[in-house]
Each structure stands twice: as structure tokens, then as C-alpha cells.
Amino acid sequence: MNLRKLREEVLDANLELVRRGLVLYTFGNASGIDRKNRVVVIKPSGVPYETMKAWHLVITDLEGNVLEGNLRPSSDLATHLVLYKAFPTIGGVAHTHSTAATSWAQARRPIPCFGTTHADYFRGSVPVTKPLTKTQIHSDYELNTGKSIVKSFAGLDPLHYPGVLVAGHAPFCWGVTPADAVHNAVVLEAIARMASETLRANPNARPIDAHLHRKHFLRKHGDSAYYGQREIK
Amino acid sequence: MNLRKLREEVLDANLELVRRGLVLYTFGNASGIDRKNRVVVIKPSGVPYETMKAWHLVITDLEGNVLEGNLRPSSDLATHLVLYKAFPTIGGVAHTHSTAATSWAQARRPIPCFGTTHADYFRGSVPVTKPLTKTQIHSDYELNTGKSIVKSFAGLDPLHYPGVLVAGHAPFCWGVTPADAVHNAVVLEAIARMASETLRANPNARPIDAHLHRKHFLRKHGDSAYYGQREIK
Amino acid sequence: MNLRKLREEVLDANLELVRRGLVLYTFGNASGIDRKNRVVVIKPSGVPYETMKAWHLVITDLEGNVLEGNLRPSSDLATHLVLYKAFPTIGGVAHTHSTAATSWAQARRPIPCFGTTHADYFRGSVPVTKPLTKTQIHSDYELNTGKSIVKSFAGLDPLHYPGVLVAGHAPFCWGVTPADAVHNAVVLEAIARMASETLRANPNARPIDAHLHRKHFLRKHGDSAYYGQREIK
Amino acid sequence: MNLRKLREEVLDANLELVRRGLVLYTFGNASGIDRKNRVVVIKPSGVPYETMKAWHLVITDLEGNVLEGNLRPSSDLATHLVLYKAFPTIGGVAHTHSTAATSWAQARRPIPCFGTTHADYFRGSVPVTKPLTKTQIHSDYELNTGKSIVKSFAGLDPLHYPGVLVAGHAPFCWGVTPADAVHNAVVLEAIARMASETLRANPNARPIDAHLHRKHFLRKHGDSAYYGQREIK
């Protein structure tokens, strides 16, 4: 089983979180999945990004058993695994405590779609999970965090909503690759910041019209998308 | 037809958007027009700025037909073309999703002129377009975006108002050259940010007096301008 | 008495304040204590960080008498000394005027725990001191600042609350080492900024549930902590 | 008359405005005065900072007549001259459109002293001028701007209030040297930003107590100051 490429992708995804200013110290983590071999590559827990190498990454099976690596995996591993199992189309997950998105998670409010930047990426508001119960917190906290995310996605295509705000915590994002998951985390941060600034300029700001939302989303997604270069993708 | 110089100017204008922190990923685009030859040079759609070269740029006629270039032009091309046709004095257009200006566009409020920084560039409030109708969104969306901008400029000199907020979307700016369009996009972002901060310091802030506005605008524009160096312009 | 290592640690802690963007000019200072020898190493007053060397640092006893160094110690020395005496488990202190944390100190409001980033570091709200009386200001101001901090910590473990907001002034933070104190100052700034942004997104935001708070705090602290790598700490 | 040193100081002061992020494009300017020779050195109007050299600077007498230099002086020269004449203790002036301070100028509200960072530099609120009348705007605008500043300083020591907010415009700062004027402009920006953030955390925030204000101001100013190093000043 050759995981060298996935290791490199996951390492780069984690380092990109730093380059984009989404993480402070060791907060945040990114992972990737090899669906054929049913293994996940994830950042180790609490290791500084500055000195992180591909061989620090931890490889686990879908139950969280460590297959390769001498370090403990990210404490959020169980959340990542729930997402990979529930969302078969995703290939990477990124979790950050980025300032604006985390603030909306702390505010426990879905981010309304105030403009086309948002509509280009999310088919509707950015969802927010329900707070966990006392029991859910005390046993299998990270697993239950994942379950609460999945629950809030009933009926939604996770690639049409590539991220979520975990109430009182922070965002989790995903995509078809680890790089894509990080890309979506970067965009979510921008969307969240602009939503806050929009409310500052107009406390009564309203979401954009459903037709404009749909138009922009479909300009970038699906069969009739016409943004970007097919030939160079 | 020698477009080498315009190509370089448009490339530099696009890269300047990045250097000034106005664009994230491939959001945003700048173009320039050669009025004599009736051609437009514009950024290709969805190509990363990091690797963009002058030969990636796309050359079209004023109907949007590609004359040179192997890549698809920016999906906002139709908007740029409407602006070039309606505003004969402009030579460049820049579109960004810069944070503060986009937030005002999302707030769908004209930016009031709270100070002389604004008055140095805009003869009045920064205009905001009317939202498009369902029909305008569903057919020729980008063309109709351009038309809605032009409509909101009835009676206004576009060089006295070098930018606009497209409701629920983001700003479009312009100028006598592509570099000038980008310069105005940078200034609009600063104006928008200060307007938000002004309202934070005083929610009842009022626009400046019409005399002060006129004084500052004319200090920089028109025959009696006395800002800058004539000899080094 | 070999204080070379502590000098280096304190120098690095002070320079880290600059690298992290927490200080402007000469605002702010960090110190460390050698409990065995009962001496404190602290930044000199008003010396630019750019040219600061280990030999500029000032070494004092716990009464503030200078033992080594030709420069005057930080004017906040007396505050640091009170903290070292009252909190026997701390090994370093960092004081900054960082933007967001200082703003909460100026607002004279404890920072509510709106999310898990906060809960990972503070066992409850970030405390704020009571304003000093006229008499406390006029004699031994810095000493009384320290005393007011200690007073607001009655019954609290200072390592469970690694920082405080001095009303109308700015934060003081601490930790088991000087580096740890600075780390906590960086995190406090992030917590403070996100708390402000949370209130912007939802003016009625509520603190997180006590169970979630406890869970996160204990994930990182105490005997059953499971965050990070025991083996590489 | 050897003005080489003052030229260098004024050039450096102008470039420091850029390094500190206080100016965009050619907004802002700094000057210095040689009181013995009764001449002022000031930035030329509208020249990019990137290519500015000492020999671009303009030397004028106190009536604004150009004595040396081929370029037109800053359009704000007349304002600087009024300040030099009215405030005999100042040696440098710096004018910026820095974001937070300009926003308070646009809000036309004095910045209340919410904390000790402010109290270390300003003996009270940061003053704001009265808006100019139509007549004052239409003739000798820059001169009248200076006069309105002086008027708002009746009874105040300009070194105890090293800056002002010009209503609807932006801040002017000063100090004993050009470098000092820029230093005060940097600090004013920090004070203004924290004041805005303070109001966000607590819309009912109150200024600090007069005793605390006085204590901090006198810790840094006057005969009993004990901040910094006398020996290395």
C-alpha cells in the first residue's frame, strides 16, 4: 500500500492552513482518505507545524486504530472518521479555529448568504450544529461531535455545503481532496468575515435572492458550470 | 496590431490586485481596452495568479469574440464589455471581492461620504446597483450585471465615480488605464473600511458638508486641481 | 548563580511578543523567575526590542533591588513581583497592550467563554480587576496593580486562569515558564478578538455549557489530558 | 545653512509612515522645522514614497515660499506652517489618513480615554476640530484647517496633546522632532483602534478615572517621570 502521495498531500494541506493564517500554534488539523485501502492520514496531536514532516503523520484505519506512525493522532480523529463514513464523496477534512468562522460558530448562528462569494461555494446558509448534551460530551465527545455534524446534514449534499460550524467550537470543512478541504476552509473564513462586516454596514441586511444564489452556485458547479478552464483542470 | 504593451499593463494590473490583498484565489479580474483597435485584453477565467503570464491573457472584440488566446476569458467579460461601451472615457476595469467593499455591496447600501479620503475620489456616495430580476439573472446574467451598473450611472460621469457596488455581489471599478482601475479598487476598499469603522465610532455619523466634498474633489480633479506634480505626471 | 539560561529565555520571551504582533514600540514586558535563587529577570524600561540583548535584562531580588544590570527595570516590575510571590506555581509573566485583550480591559468586562478555544485555556471567564482607588493610584501604583490582580484571584488556581485584564489598562498573563506566559498572552489576544467578533455576529451570544467547558479544559490539563504528545513534551 | 540632517530626518519620517502601514499611495506627509533658520522641510505633493529621495523634499520659509527644491510642496503645507507658528515647542508634524484615527475624525467624536495606553500619551480626550464654514473652505482651505486646529487647542499644551482629529478629514500629529511626530501618529492609530474595539465589547464603556489618567501621563512626562532610561535617551 503506497501512501506516499497522500502523506504529502496531507502534510501540504496542514502547512497551507498555516500559510493562509487559519491556525495559531497547533490548533487545527487536516486529513485525507484513501478510500480504496480504507485508511486515513491525519496530523499528529499537538506537534508544531514548523517542524512537521510527512513521517510525523499518523495513518489509521476507519475505526481509528493506528497502522503507521509513532505519534498520537489528532484528538479530533474520531470526528474526521465519522465524516468520512457518512460522506462517501469527500476525500479530505480540515478543521481550524480561524477567527471569523469560529466567531460565527461561537455565536451559534448559521451564516446567511449575503452575497455571491458565499453562493459560489455553499448552496445555502452555512449550517451550525446543535449543542451536544451532557451525555454526548462526557462519553465519546469527538465521535459525538462528528455525529452532530452528520445529523445537521440530513438531506444535504456535503459537496454543496463544504463546511459546517460546530456550535460553541469552530468550523469543520471538507472537499474532494485534502487541498480542496483547506481551500474551502479559507473561503469559509472570508465568507464569515464579510458576513460580519455586512451586518456592521447594515444591521438589517437580507440574504440574496434564491435565483441569484442558484445562478452563482451553478456557474461553478455541475454540468452547466462555465467558470474556470476545463482544459487546464 | 501591437497589443504587447496593453497585455503587460493588464497582466500587471491583475497581479497588483494580489499584491494589494484585494483578491483571494482566482476571485477578481482586471482588463484593458485598446479603443483604436476596438479590442479588450482580459484575465482568463479561474487561472491562478501565481503562474499567470502575459500570453495567458485573452483578447476579444467588443462583442466578446475571442481573437487571441487559448483560454476561456473571465466569466465576467460581458460585464466589462458593457462598461467599455457605455463609458467611452474609461480604459481599464477591475473587479474584486475585497472584504470591506464587498460587505457594503452585500449590505446593499451606498457608501456615504464620511470624509475627504472619499471626497478625493468620488464626487458623491459610492453607488449601489438595483438587484437583478429573476429574468435578468437567468439569461445573460453578466451582461445584465453590466447593464444594471450603467443604469445606476444615468447622469453621472464615470470618472467622477470610478466604481460601483453591485448589490449582493461585489465592486467593479474603472479608470483611464488598467492601473488606474486597480488604484481605484484599492482606494474604494480603504474608503469602505473607514466608513464601517466610522459607523462603529458613531452610529449616527453624518456625511461631510457638500462644500468640503467639492473642495477636495476639485483639489485633485479638473482644471484647477493643485494636488501632485504636473511636471512628473 | 548561573542565570544565563533564564536570561536567554526571558530575552526570547520578550522578542516573541514582538514576533507575534502583541507589542508596539516598547509597550509590554516579560520576565522569568529562578525560584531556587529567588531572583527575577525582567526587561529594562523603554529599551527598543530591535536592539535588546540578553545583557540589557535586569536581575532583581523579590523586593525589586537590582542585583545585575546597568539599566532601570521595567516600570511594571513591582506588579510582576507581587504575582510571583502570590502565585508560587508560575515561572514567567508577560504584560502586553495587545489590541483585542486591551480593549476588553478598557471595556472592564470579563471575557465570557463563548467557545472551546477559550475553554482549552481558561477554566472560566477571563477575570477583570476592580479599578484602583485614588490612594492606591497615588502611592505604589504598580504594587497595588499587582495586589488588585491577586485579590481578583481569591479561590482561583492561577494556572487554570493564566491571565487577567487589569481594568482600564491591559492584560497580564503568566505560565510555568516565560515562554508559556507569552504563549498564553497570544492565546488571550485570539480569545478576546473572537469574543468581540462573536458579539458582532450575535449580540445575544451566550457562554458555552459548563460541561463542554470542563471537557475541553480537561482534555488539555490534568491527569486525564489526552491532547498532544506525552513522549515529545 | 546646512539642512542635510533635517532633510534626512524628514525623509525617514515620511518613509516610517509607510513602514508602519499608516499611509496608502501618496496620502499623508511629514515635515520638520529648523527654528533657528526659520525654514521647514516637507514632502513634495503626490510623489510615490517608493522612489522618494532626500533631494525631492521641498524647503520653504514660514510663509510657504519655496527656497529649495524643484517640486511642488505637499498641498497641506499651509496647515503645517500654521501649526509651527502657533506651537513653538514642536519640531515635526505628521499627517496621515490611517484607518482607525481617520474613522474617528470622520465620526467627528473626540476619542475618550478608555485606558492607560491613551493616558501615556494624551492628557485628555483626543480633540476634534469644528467643521469649517463654507467661506473657510472656499478660500485658503489648508490655512483655515490649521487655524481650526489651533483654535481647538486654546489653553492646551500641544505636547500634552500630540495630535488632533480634523473633522471629516483625518489626524494631524506632532512632536519635538519629525520622528516623534510619526511615533505619535502610530500611537494615535493604536489608541483609536482600541477605542473602537472597546465600544464593541461594551457600548457603555466609560473613560478611566482622572487619577489613573494623570498617574500614567506623569509616569512618562514631566520632572517626576520614571519610565524609560534617562541614561540612554
In this structure, what C-alpha cell is assigned to residue D45? 505633493
Instruction: Assess contact for A74 and A44: CB atoms under 8 A.
Output: yes
CB contact under 8 A, D202 and C108: yes
pLDDT at position C232 is 40
Percent of chain C surpassing pLDDT 90: 91
Order of strands across the sheet with A92-95? A66-68, A58-61, A39-42, A29-34, A92-95, A171-175, A163-165
pLDDT band at C230 (very low <50, low <70, confident <90, very high): low
- Substitution target in A202, A204, A221, A226 with the highest count of B β-carbons within 10 Å is A202
pLDDT tens digits along B54-101? 999 999 999 999 999 999 999 999 999 999 999 999 999 999 999 999
In this structure, what C-alpha cell is assigned to residue B172? 467593479
d(CA C205, CA A106): 8
> Between chain B and chain D, how many beta carbons pairs sit less than 8 Å apart?
97
pLDDT tens digits along B130-151? 999 999 999 999 999 999 999 9
From residue D214, alpha-carbon distances to A9, A58, B171, D152, D211 in Å are 58, 58, 47, 21, 5
A partners (3+ CB pairs within 8 A) are B, C
In this structure, what C-alpha cell is assigned to residue A189? 473564513
Instruction: Enumerate residues 6+ apart whose C-beta is below 8 A from A213.
Output: A113, A119, A123, A124, A207
The active-site residue out of C76, C120, C157, C223 is: C120
B153 touches chain A (CB under 8 A): no
CB contact under 8 A, A229 and B24: no
Question: D194 pLDDT exceeds 50?
Answer: yes
pLDDT tens digits along C58-83? 999 999 999 999 999 999 999 999 99
Instruction: Assess contact for A171 and A101: CB atoms under 8 A.
Output: yes
A218 touches chain B (CB under 8 A): no
d(CA D162, CA D178): 12
pLDDT at position B231 is 44
Average pLDDT, chain B: 95
Helix ranges restricted to H, A38-177: 77-86, 99-107, 116-119, 134-138, 141-151
pLDDT tens digits along D126-156? 999 999 999 999 999 999 999 999 999 999 9
Residues in chain C: 233
Chain B, nearest residue to D71 by Cα: B229
CB contact under 8 A, B99 and A197: yes
Question: C147 vs chain A: nearest CA distance in angstroms?
Answer: 32
CB contact under 8 A, A115 and B106: yes
pLDDT band at C2 (very low <50, low <70, confident <90, very high): confident
Order of strands across the sheet with D66-68? D66-68, D58-61, D39-42, D29-34, D92-95, D171-175, D163-165
D49 touches chain B (CB under 8 A): no
pLDDT band at D222 (very low <50, low <70, confident <90, very high): confident
CB contact under 8 A, A196 and C194: no
pLDDT tens digits along C172-186? 999 999 999 999 999
Instruction: Give Dmax (Cα) for chain A.
Output: 55
pLDDT at position D226 is 83
pLDDT at position A231 is 44
Question: B144 vs chain D: nearest CA distance in angstroms?
Answer: 34
CB contact under 8 A, A232 and B47: yes
Place of cell 532610561: D229
Q: How many helices (H) and strands (E) does chain D have?
A: 8, 7
Torsion of CA A168, A174, A180, A184, to 10 degrees: -30
pLDDT at position A46 is 86
CB contact under 8 A, A71 and C211: no
Average pLDDT, chain A: 95
Q: Which residues in A lie closer than 8 A to residue C231 (C-beta atoms)?
A: 70-71
- Substitution target in B106, B125, B136 with the highest count of A β-carbons within 10 Å is B106
Between helix A178-201 and helix B178-201 the angle, nearest 10°, is: 60
Closest CA to B35 of B71, B89, B79, B72: B89
B200 touches chain D (CB under 8 A): yes
Question: B181 pLDDT exceeds 80?
Answer: yes
pLDDT at position D232 is 39
Question: D13 pLDDT exceeds 80?
Answer: yes
CB contact under 8 A, B197 and D100: yes
Q: Which residues in D lie closer than 8 A to residue C199 (C-beta atoms)?
A: 200-201
Please state the rounded mean pLDDT for residues B163-175: 98
Q: Which residues in D lie closer than 8 A to residue C110 (C-beta atoms)?
A: none
Question: D218 pLDDT exceeds 60?
Answer: yes
Active site residue C120: yes
Instruction: Give Dmax (Cα) for chain C.
Output: 55
Please state the rounded mean pLDDT for residues C80-100: 98
pLDDT at position C228 is 79
CB contact under 8 A, B168 and A232: no
Enter the ipTM.
0.94
pLDDT tens digits along C137-147? 999 999 999 99
Of A193, A209, A226, the CB nearest to B75: A226
- Substitution target in A106, A128, A137 with the highest count of C β-carbons within 10 Å is A106
**D98 three-state secondary structure:** coil
Question: B224 vs chain A: nearest CA distance in angstroms?
Answer: 35
pLDDT tens digits along C153-204? 999 999 999 999 999 999 999 999 999 999 999 999 999 999 999 999 999 9
More confident residue, C124 or D228: C124
> Between chain C and chain D, how many beta carbons pairs sit less than 8 Å apart?
97
Question: B216 pLDDT exceeds 80?
Answer: yes
In this structure, what C-alpha cell is assigned to residue A159? 459537496
The whole-model pTM stands at 0.96
Between helix B4-19 and helix B178-201 the angle, nearest 10°, is: 20
Ordered DSSP codes for C62-93: TT--EEE-SS-B-TTHHHHHHHHHH-TT--EE
pLDDT tens digits along D41-82? 999 998 899 999 999 999 999 999 999 999 999 999 999 999
d(CA C116, CA C55): 40
CB contact under 8 A, C200 and A132: no
Question: B95 vs chain D: nearest CA distance in angstroms?
Answer: 20
Under-50 pLDDT residues of chain A: 231-233
A164 - beta bridge partners?
A172
pLDDT tens digits along D91-124? 999 999 999 999 999 999 999 999 999 999 999 9
pLDDT tens digits along A67-92? 999 999 999 999 999 999 999 999 99
A163 - beta bridge partners?
A173
